[in-house]
Every structure is written in structure tokens, then in C-alpha cells.
Amino acid sequence: MTREQYADVIVDISHEKVDRPFQYRVPESLAGSLEAGMCVMVPFGSGNKLIKGYVMEVSSRCKFDPEKTKEIAKVADDGVAAQDKTMVLAGWLRRNYGSTMIQAVKTVLPAKKAVGRLEHKSLQRIMGKEEILSLLGECTRKKQRAKARLLQELVSQEEIPFEWITGKLGVSSSAVKSLEREGAVRVVSRRRFRNPVKFTERDSMLPVLSFAQQKIVDSVIADFDQGRRGAYLIHGITGSGKTEVYMRLIGETLKRGRQAIVLIPEIALTYQTLLRFFRRFGDRVSVMNSTLSQGEKYDQCARARNGEVDVVIGPRSALFTPFPNIGLIVIDEEHESSYKSESMPKYHARETAMEVARLHGASVVMGSATPSLETYFRARAGEYTLFTLKERLTGGMLPQVHIVDLREELRAGNRSIFSRKLQELLEERLKKGEQSMLFLNRRGYSGFISCRACGHVMKCPHCDVSLAEHRNGMLMCHYCGFQTAKPPVCPRCGSKYIMGFRAGTQQIEEKLKEMFPGVRTLRMDADTTRTKDSHERILSAFAAGEADVLIGTQMIVKGHDFPNVTLVGAIAADLSLCTGDFRAGERTFQLLTQAAGRAGRGSLPGQMVIQTYQPDHYAIVRAARQDYEGFYEEEILYREMLGYPPAAHMLAVQIYAKEEDKGMRLAELLAQSAKKTPVNLQIIGPAAASIGRINDIFRFVFYVKQQNYDKLIQTKDVLEKEIKRLQPKGETVQFDFDPLNVL
């Protein structure tokens, strides 16, 4: 006799309680064939009316009284084909990234929450332009910078949403109140974030596209109209006209009665960019960002579903906007790691966009100045069509880049964090009243050990990534768990200056003030950006000239234009080169290339200084020359040699446990059962994670490598079954395909 099976079914996907499925008995006729994601008809309520539902999970455990549990009537006639695209997508996420169906459904579906009082406050100008201008003059004289910034904006805008005032403009409510008292503005409340662009300010004339831009637009549209749905990569530096191409393509998409989704990483989603979209498309645009509440998100989705808007701009999750008939998905800055979800299912928006596009028959257009290896690899293989935009339309030259060898500095007796070149250039800027940016590309965990004399970095002999120093003094590999004692002297040159790098942003600020008394600094790092909007406030204060030097982590080099910045310094490029992650070279290249783009955006020529112990490393040399192709050629060789993505695929199986030994045992059991699958796999680990314990939860990880993604999915399925069988109590397991970060 077969055991009874039960299925969790959600009956109304627009209901707020999708996490409360109803349990039904699986009839014998369906035993073994019923799967999560399938659409079924079930009796519901006291009348037992048959309604449609979706299977979330099938198990052999009855949660209630078996006598009272109703039975599934049948699989819905319309079957898979007529299923809601959203549910198909949820099923795809579950299958491809490994999560429960509920987790997948929650990812694609905004929970229905009472929308409450939807209110967006905004500031309305009630004085005339002339009066505003004279008030602006007064505030500038009195050095009331925040008020001046706001007034400056009010010269051209009659109404400004409040969230922009406290956020992007960095103006406090006391400044607003004082302007209110002076009768310059009033606060108004609206039901909805209103399109800030008045009809008269809409674009009336579109710029004539350059030859290269036109060619992209023409080929994408020609493909679309001939029924070919492709994926396209636009490789072009910032200012080369990518956004203009996106907007033109969106225009063409709307003309064809289809909708468009534009993904932009939140950090790069500036007010200026949004205004461009509003100017072009007016009220048809809607923005999804993290400032929206659940209720507002739900409301936005309803508007998208009803056809009230047809362009949505936002980060990763905007991909799940329930448009009826998507024609185009744009992914700007496609290399950004924020496109990968960090909670289950750990999906990548780029891959998921391809599936959304397939379901809707849409095209996907990606853009980046430094494409991810994954995307460029596929473009090279002909899977994506590659376009290149070479010229900067905004003018401004690429900066002159100096690579400084820190080993030389030590030899010359300079033990300061600032090389002689950097000191000289900083002094020059301060004299001329130009601004500088100094950054530490510290990213995640980098407890690496290197030699200050010869630059030698301690690496894992098996994985070719940097080893990290642990509390017990051992050096450890984040992937395979290889351990070795920290050597007393450099194994290459015998120097005793072998050590970790510990300078933080705060220390840089202190040293800078010692070296240049009176220098005005702003600091942006995890400490100074804890509160909401502090990020934007620091950036806008810097843009307003309130400091000579902005010091920060890599967050300062992303997505902001400071025309007065003519010097950018990377204090220790090695920090991102030695993170113990196979993507370290790629990240360093991206970061340095982006940073170089920050210097000399205005009319003034810029310079950049890269300080490093590895001045010959290809990621550094190629970034200094802004040579993406050259970088790609070397990096892909490394990936191929060691079987890292995109040359192969990699699945991280992450185990979180309350008890250390139980966690390790589960990790070992799972690694064993992965080994037993008929698929030819390479298994690395298990090992304790790079940060072995967080909040009293122990973390273990092992990696599975395989050429073929589908075989990795099969492995995940085997592991899921094994986990179900073992029913661990104090341990949870997560899957991360082609992980972006070491755990």
C-alpha cells in the first residue's frame, strides 16, 4: 500500500496569505504525478465549490485531522499552458535556484497588504521664479548650503517630491520649515508619487542618434518585427549614449502596444536619470524602489496589471512587474552584483530576465562599460548580439592613470598610506581648489596576507585564490578549506614584512588631516551611512563643494557625477584583488575602471592614482588602460583553467546550523550524496564558511562544479530529496548557483 500523500495548495494568489496554504489529500489517481507549481481544482468553503489552486508542496505528513482533510478534485483542464505566467515563473525559480514553492511565489508576487493611507508629500513653490532666485542669492551669501540646494532645484521645478528632498538633495526638514515660514514653498500631500515633470517640459524633440546608436536601435527593432527575440549587449563607457538607446527602444516597444521593464541598480538610480524617463514618457512611467512600502508596491503592480502604466523602472525586483505583455527588458549596468538575490531563491535578475522574456516573447537589452564575464562570454559565443559604443558624447577626457608600486615606496622609506605621487597630486588639488576622492576597495571579507617587500600573496595551491587569516593564526581557503600556518617570513623573498592590510577609512581620514591640516573631508562608509538617506546626503554635500576630499569604501565610485573632481586615488587596490573569491580580478577591474571614470567628468582634465603591491597584475594594468577586451582575454583563461564560471558552473551548498558538529556532519552527508549521483561532478569542501559563525549560527559550505547547468540542477534535486529524508531540525540548507560571493 502506498502512503497517503498530502498537498499544500494556495487557492488565491492575490490573497495576502499566500504563506497559508490549505492542505488537501492527493487522490490515488494523482499519486506520484503531482508536483509543486501545478494548477489543480479543489473543493473550497462550506459549499465545496470547485476553485482553482496551485500546488506548493507535496508531502506525506498530514497537518490536520486526516478525516477532515478534503481531496483534490483534479488537475485543472487548461493545464500548464493557461497557467498564470507569474506562477510559471515561480515554478521556474524554484526549479532553477532551489527553494520552496512558497518562497518562489513570494518572490514574484507582492503580498497584498492593506494599502492604508497612501500619501506622498511634496514641496510646492509658491513664490515666483524671480523671488526664488533672489532668495537663493541670499542663502548662498549666508552659506546656508542646504537651503540653497533646495532653492536651486526650485528654480526649474515647481514641485519636488519630499523623498527627493530629504534623500537625493540631502536637505533636512528644518531647512524646509524655514522656507515654508518665509512663504517660498508649501507642503502638499498627494495620494501618489506624481510624475514630477510637467507636460510642457516633456521632450518635444529627440536627439538625432549617432550612427552607432542608430544601428543598434535598427537591428533590435528589425529582429523584433521579424519575430526574432534576442538578447543584446551594449558595451559602452558611461556617457556613450546607452540610455538614449534604451529610451528609443522603449518608445518603439510602446508603439507596438507592449510594455517595458528597465532594471537599474538602486545605487545608480539617480533623480536625473528618472527625470529623463519622465520627460520622455510622462505618466506612463512608474518607479519601483526600496522606499515604497509593501502596500505601495502592491498598488504599483495593480496599476501595471491594469495598463495604467507601461514602463517600470527599478532594481532587481521590478522584473516581476505583472505587465500583461512585456516587449522589452532593459538591464543597465548588467555586471552589478545587486542583480543577484541574497535570499532564497537566490536568483540572478539577468538569467531570470531571459525566462521572463521567453514567457512574454520579449527582447532583452543589457548595457555596461565593464560587462560581466558571464555576459561577455555568451556574447562572444554568439548567444547574445554584441554592440559597442566607443565615443563619449558628453565630452570630458579619460583621466591619466598612474600605477604606484607600494613596494618601491617601502624601499624609498615611505611608510605612509599615501604614496609620494598621491601626496603631490593631493596637494596640487588643494591649492587649486579642486576636489579629490580616495577610496578603499574593501569588499566583503579580505583578511589576506601579503609581503610588503615583494608583493607575494599567500594563495591556495588548489583553488588559486588568496588565503585568509583566521583568528587561530591559520591561513584558510574559502572554497576548499585548505589550511596552512602563517609563515614567519615571506616564502618568496624572506622579508619579515609579511602581514595583513588593516587600514580603514577612518584611519585614512586621520592621516590625511595630519598631512594637510585644515583639509575639509567627508567620509562615507558603513559607519557613516547607517541611517536612511545618509548616503545621499554625503554625496550631495560633496557635490555642493562642502569638502575637498571624499573618503570612502567602493560605494563612492558608483553612479555619481562630480564635475569638480579631478583626482581619484585607490589606496590599496590589493584589497579587492585578494578577497579569496575567484571573481576578485573581475571586481577589481570593474571598480578601478569605474573609479577612473569619476575623475575629469567636467571640463577639467582628471588624474587617477592606483596604489598596489601588484603593479603587474593584469586587472590593474588593463584597468589603467581602460582595456576591457585585454582584461577579458586574460581573465577567461584563468576561469577556464580552474573551471570557474562562466567556463563551468558552480553550485554552493550552504549549511546553517545551531550546533557546530551537527552542521559539519550534515555538510559531509550531503557532499557524500552529491558524490554518489551518476553525474560527473567535482566537489570542493565541505569547509567552515569564511565567517564561520554569525549570531550563533554556524555556517558550512561545499561547492559542486560541473560544465552543464542542468546537471547541477539535477544534483540540487537529489540533495533536496536527501534533505527531506533526513529532516534536519536545527539546520537549514540554502543553494546558491554560480555564487557571486564566497560564504
Cα atoms in the Cβ-side hemisphere of radius 13 Å centred on 425: 26
Q: How far is the CB of 245 from ligand ADP (least distance, A)?
A: 7
C-alpha span between 544 and 554 (Å, rounded): 21
Residues 101, 422, 480, 591: which binds Zn ion (CB under 5 A)? 480
Q: How far is the CB of 353 from Zn ion (least distance, A)?
A: 33
Residues with Cβ < 8 Å from 129, sequence gap 6 or more?
155
Q: How far is the CB of 595 from ligand ADP (least distance, A)?
A: 16
> Rounded to whole angstroms, what are the CA distances from 405 to 408, 596, 617?
5, 18, 11
For residue 240, state whether it binds ligand ADP (rule: CB under 6 A): yes
Q: Which does 279 bind (CB under 5 to 8 A by kind): ligand ADP, Zn ion, none?
A: none
Q: How far is the CB of 699 from ligand ADP (least distance, A)?
A: 39
For residue 207, state whether it binds ligand ADP (rule: CB under 6 A): yes
Say how many C-beta atoms besides its own lie within 10 A of residue 596's C-beta: 25
Spatial CA neighbour of 118 closest among 246, 266, 299, 278: 299
For residue 309, state whether it binds Zn ion (rule: CB under 5 A): no
> Which amino acid, 10?
I
C-alpha span between 84 and 39 (Å, rounded): 9
Task: List phi, psi (to 5°) of 621.
Answer: -60, -45
Length of the chain: 743
Residues 242, 340, 598, 639: which binds ligand ADP (CB under 6 A)? 242
Cα atoms in the Cβ-side hemisphere of radius 13 Å centred on 353: 30
For residue 462, state whether it binds Zn ion (rule: CB under 5 A): yes
Spatial CA neighbour of 423 closest among 529, 499, 519, 335: 519
Residues with Cβ < 8 Å from 481, sequence gap 6 or more?
685, 686, 687, 688
Residue nearer to ligand ADP on the CB measure, 393 or 642: 393
For residue 581, state whether it binds ligand ADP (rule: CB under 6 A): no
Query: Helices (DSSP H) in 478-608: which residue ranges?
Result: 505-515, 534-543, 574-577, 584-596
Say how many C-beta atoms besides its own lie within 10 A of residue 641's C-beta: 10
Q: Which does 243 bind (CB under 5 to 8 A by kind): ligand ADP, Zn ion, none?
A: ligand ADP
CB 385 within 8 A of CB 260: no
The stretch near ligand ADP (CB under 6 A) out of 41-49, 237-245, 293-301, 607-615 is 237-245
Cell numbers given for 461: 595551491
Q: Which does 394 bind (CB under 5 to 8 A by kind): ligand ADP, Zn ion, none?
A: ligand ADP
Classify 48 in phi/psi space as left (phi over 0), alpha (psi -120 to 50) or beta.
Answer: left
Interface with ligand ADP (CB under 6 A), residue total 15
For residue 394, state whether it binds ligand ADP (rule: CB under 6 A): yes
Residue identified by cell 575567484 is 582
Task: List phi, psi (to 5°) of 368.
Answer: -170, 155
Q: Which does 244 bind (CB under 5 to 8 A by kind): Zn ion, ligand ADP, none?
A: ligand ADP
Residues 236, 314, 327, 396: which binds ligand ADP (CB under 6 A)? 236
CB 260 within 8 A of CB 310: yes
329: buried, middle or exposed (CB in 10 Å: 19+, 13-18, 0-12)? Answer: buried
Residue nearer to Zn ion on the CB measure, 256 or 492: 492
Residues 23, 122, 195, 213: which binds ligand ADP (CB under 6 A)? 213
Residues 460, 475, 652, 701: which binds Zn ion (CB under 5 A)? 460
Residue nearer to Zn ion on the CB measure, 208 or 485: 485
Residue nearer to ligand ADP on the CB measure, 210 or 294: 210
Query: Helices (DSSP H) in 520-562: which residue ranges?
Result: 534-543
Residues with Cβ < 8 Å from 463, sequence gap 6 or more?
477, 479, 480, 482, 582, 642, 684
Q: Which does 681 bind (CB under 5 to 8 A by kind): ligand ADP, Zn ion, none?
A: none
Cell numbers given for 608: 587617477
Q: How far is the CB of 210 from ligand ADP (least distance, A)?
A: 5
C-alpha span between 505 and 551 (Å, rounded): 7
Residue nearer to ligand ADP on the CB measure, 268 or 691: 268
Q: Which does 479 bind (CB under 5 to 8 A by kind): Zn ion, ligand ADP, none?
A: Zn ion
Q: Which does 239 bind (CB under 5 to 8 A by kind): ligand ADP, Zn ion, none?
A: ligand ADP
Q: How far is the CB of 742 from Zn ion (least distance, A)?
A: 11
CB 562 within 8 A of CB 597: no
User: C-alpha dihedral over 347, 348, 351, 355, to 10 degrees?
Assistant: 40
For residue 244, state whether it binds ligand ADP (rule: CB under 6 A): yes
Residues 209, 454, 493, 636: which binds ligand ADP (CB under 6 A)? 209
Residues 179, 477, 567, 570: which binds Zn ion (CB under 5 A)? 477
For residue 241, state whether it binds ligand ADP (rule: CB under 6 A): yes
Residues 269, 463, 565, 567: which binds Zn ion (CB under 5 A)? 463
Say how many C-beta atoms besides its own lie within 10 A of residue 645's C-beta: 20
The stretch near Zn ion (CB under 5 A) out of 181-189, 195-203, 445-453, 536-544 is 445-453
Residues 280, 284, 297, 456: which binds Zn ion (CB under 5 A)? 456
Residues 11, 275, 393, 541: which binds ligand ADP (CB under 6 A)? 393
For residue 239, state whether it binds ligand ADP (rule: CB under 6 A): yes
C-alpha span between 738 and 415 (Å, rounded): 40
Residues 212, 354, 359, 493: which binds Zn ion (CB under 5 A)? 493
The stretch near ligand ADP (CB under 6 A) out of 27-35, 115-123, 205-213, 419-427 is 205-213
The stretch near ligand ADP (CB under 6 A) out of 144-152, 232-240, 457-465, 535-543 is 232-240
Residues with Cβ < 8 Å from 284, sequence gap 6 or more?
254, 309, 310, 311
The stretch near Zn ion (CB under 5 A) out of 114-122, 179-187, 283-291, 450-458 is 450-458
Q: Which does 456 bind (CB under 5 to 8 A by kind): Zn ion, ligand ADP, none?
A: Zn ion
The strands making up 185-190's β-sheet, listed across from edge to edge, are 159-161, 120-125, 185-190
The stretch near ligand ADP (CB under 6 A) out of 231-239, 263-271, 311-319, 614-622 is 231-239
Q: Which does 207 bind (CB under 5 to 8 A by kind): Zn ion, ligand ADP, none?
A: ligand ADP
Residues 438, 490, 522, 688: which binds Zn ion (CB under 5 A)? 490
Q: How far is the CB of 80 from Zn ion (least distance, A)?
A: 43
Spatial CA neighbour of 704 closest among 680, 724, 731: 680
The stretch near ligand ADP (CB under 6 A) out of 152-160, 208-216, 378-386, 579-587 is 208-216
Residue nearer to ligand ADP on the CB measure, 272 or 484: 272
Would you give the DSSP letter of residue 678?
A: S
The stretch near ligand ADP (CB under 6 A) out of 61-69, 239-247, 352-360, 606-614 is 239-247
The strands making up 326-332's β-sheet, listed across from edge to edge, are 285-287, 311-314, 259-263, 326-332, 363-368, 231-236, 385-389
C-alpha span between 103 and 99 (Å, rounded): 6
Residue nearer to Zn ion on the CB measure, 484 or 707: 484
Q: How far is the CB of 253 from ligand ADP (least distance, A)?
A: 17
Q: How far is the CB of 477 from Zn ion (least distance, A)?
A: 3
Residues 463 to 492: which contact ligand ADP by CB under 6 A? Answer: none
CB 705 within 8 A of CB 724: no
For residue 238, state whether it binds ligand ADP (rule: CB under 6 A): yes
Residues that bind Zn ion (CB under 5 A): 451, 453-454, 456, 460, 462-463, 477, 479-480, 482, 490, 492-493, 495
Residues that bind ligand ADP (CB under 6 A): 207-210, 213, 236, 238-244, 393-394
